[in-house]
Amino acid sequence: MPEDASVNLEELLKLHPADVADYLQRLPAENAQCILRQVPRPLAAQILTELEKERFRAFTASFSTQELVELFQELAPNAAADLAGELPPEKRRQILAALPAETSAPIKALLHYGEDTAGGIMSDRFIALRSDHTVQQSQEVLRTRAEQRPEDVSYLYVTDEAQRLVGVVSLRDLVFRRPERRIGDIMNRDVKSVRVDADQEEIARRFEHYHYLGLPVVDSENRLVGIVKASDALHVAQREATEDMQLMVGLSGEERALTPWQKSIGRRLPWLYINLATAFLAAAVVSLFESTIARWTVLAVFLPIVAGQGGNAGMQTLTIIIRDMALGELSPGDGWKALLKEATLGLVNGLAIGLAVGLAGYVWKGDWRLGAIAGLAMLLNQLAAALSGVLIPFGLQALKVDPALASSIFVTTVTDVAGFFFFLGLAWAAIRLFGI
């Protein structure tokens, strides 16, 4: 259908590269590659930067080194470095070797930084002013560098003769101050910065907390090496929030609704198997009490209620803790306060739910003893839910693992195991003591 394709192409060219990327991601890789080869090279390069990582790899799998080299030459160094970081090492080496040295050098420098650090998300297209220059000299610099399309920011950072960050001036200041003033005299010396190896999540938090528009990035010698913009931080914040939600239930953190199922299964199934192993743990508890159930079958009816309530309450606690941890809102010592709060809530919720279940057990099955046992087990399990919802993410953090990682699987394991044990254990004791 060459006609259809050409109609599409003409319309595609009118769209923002991010929208073209969205469109292409819904096509089979071959069709997307075909279209990418037809659009003008600068646009094609921009589209590549907007693709999901995994789609980028799929779409460029068939591209020759020469094709990729031509595309990479259209990109700013930070965009090129981001893409190069996604390529197989061998392909990356070939491309970097084939690029002219003045293009490959900044890309190589950026590739040096971890992709989750300030260095990985920063842009190196910034203009630094010299503190010993005058306003007029600085205006000249700005005028001549404007063609290099530096990032649009309203603040300009000032360095000394050793490229160390010493201050910041607003573009407005620079324009309206007298031309002979020295930058060092008009700049604001109270300039905030981040280290190039700072974690991107921490940076996103600082942007949100302090409402920064941009932050300069410095190396260990306080030399200015890049800038991070609010929009970069926005991207990080959104991705991280998404990741936590996914990690909690055993997903990769990068899956999308339309990720091919063959890709999804590799990450989902292992966690489902782990969940299965933990479910057998809960089943083993039930198995311990098989003879109790055989004697009093209605206990089996209440098992899903005990498990369901504990699981839901545990998820509530867990979600609160993970969120506050991710946004850096828990200071040292807050963990204990949170534990105390959740334990109190568990107790109060447990009393409210325990009473309701006890009453329901009596009304439904006409047995007050069943109700009393179920109600008490509920109360205890709400406490177990509260404690595990706090202690599991803190425990994962202490083990230097992401506190969100599969945490919902671990919490529901605790609430299942504890819930069944309390419920069936109490029933067993009641039978022994009162001979029900």
- Reported residue count of the chain is 436
From 36-44, 114-122, 292-300, 428-436, span contacting its own copies (CB under 8 A): 292-300
Under the binding rule (CB under 8 A), the answer on residue 402 touching its own copies is: no
Q: 3-class DSSP state for residue 289?
A: coil
Of 319, 381, 388, 407, the one binding its own copies by CB under 8 A: 319
Q: Locate 254 and state its tokens.
A: 């990068």
Rounded Cα gap, residues 175 and 400, in angstroms = 49
Rounded Cα gap, residues 290 and 165, in angstroms = 71
The nearer residue to its own copies, 273 or 368, going by C-beta atoms, is 273
At closest approach, how far in Å is the CB of 66 from its own copies? 29
Under the binding rule (CB under 8 A), the answer on residue 201 touching its own copies is: no
Contact flags string 76-115 toward its own copies, x per CB under 8 A: ----------------------------------------
Rounded Cα gap, residues 19 and 12, in angstroms = 9
The answer to whether the CB of 345 falls within 8 A of the CB of 271 is no
| Burial class for 155, CB neighbours closer than 10 Å (0-12, 13-18, 19+) | buried
The nearer residue to its own copies, 22 or 160, going by C-beta atoms, is 22
Q: Locate 424 and state its tokens.
A: 């069936």
- Size of interface with its own copies, in residues (CB under 8 A): 117
Our measurement of the distance from residue 127's CA atom to the centroid of its chain's CA atoms, rounded to an integer in Å, reads 30
User: Which amino acid is residue 399, in one-letter code?
Assistant: L
Of 91, 125, 182, 323, the one binding its own copies by CB under 8 A: 323
Of 106, 308, 395, 425, the one binding its own copies by CB under 8 A: 308
Of 27, 34, 293, 359, the one binding its own copies by CB under 8 A: 293
At closest approach, how far in Å is the CB of 349 from its own copies? 6
The nearer residue to its own copies, 108 or 239, going by C-beta atoms, is 239
Q: Which residue has the tokens 């504990």?
A: 310
Under the binding rule (CB under 8 A), the answer on residue 363 touching its own copies is: no
At closest approach, how far in Å is the CB of 105 from its own copies? 25
At closest approach, how far in Å is the CB of 403 from its own copies? 12
Q: Which of 326, 111, 355, 350 is nearest to 237 (CA)?
A: 326
Contact flags string 242-281 toward its own copies, x per CB under 8 A: x-xxx-xxxx---xxxxxxx--xx--xx-xxx-xx-xxx-
Strand partners, 8: none
Under the binding rule (CB under 8 A), the answer on residue 3 touching its own copies is: no
Phi, psi of 216 (to 5 degrees): -75, 150
The answer to whether the CB of 227 falls within 8 A of the CB of 217 is yes
Of 305, 370, 396, 405, the one binding its own copies by CB under 8 A: 305
Contact flags string 121-160 toward its own copies, x per CB under 8 A: ------------------x--xx--x-----xxxx-----
| Burial class for 248, CB neighbours closer than 10 Å (0-12, 13-18, 19+) | buried
From 3-11, 68-76, 88-96, 409-417, span contacting its own copies (CB under 8 A): 409-417
At closest approach, how far in Å is the CB of 91 from its own copies? 27
Q: Which of 89, 88, 71 is nearest to 80 (CA)?
A: 71
Of 87, 409, 414, 427, the one binding its own copies by CB under 8 A: 409
Contacts of residue 425, defined as CB under 8 A and 6 or more positions apart, other chains included, come to 289
At closest approach, how far in Å is the CB of 27 from its own copies? 12
At closest approach, how far in Å is the CB of 308 from its own copies? 4
The answer to whether the CB of 216 falls within 8 A of the CB of 164 is no
| Cα distances (Å, whole numbers) of residue 337 to 315, 325, 333 | 18, 14, 7
Under the binding rule (CB under 8 A), the answer on residue 294 touching its own copies is: yes
Of 54, 116, 208, 219, the one binding its own copies by CB under 8 A: 208
From 90-98, 128-136, 159-167, 350-358, span contacting its own copies (CB under 8 A): 350-358
Under the binding rule (CB under 8 A), the answer on residue 372 touching its own copies is: no
Under the binding rule (CB under 8 A), the answer on residue 65 touching its own copies is: no
Rounded Cα gap, residues 234 and 241, in angstroms = 11
Under the binding rule (CB under 8 A), the answer on residue 316 touching its own copies is: yes
Rounded Cα gap, residues 131 and 158, in angstroms = 6
Our measurement of the distance from residue 267's CA atom to the centroid of its chain's CA atoms, rounded to an integer in Å, reads 16
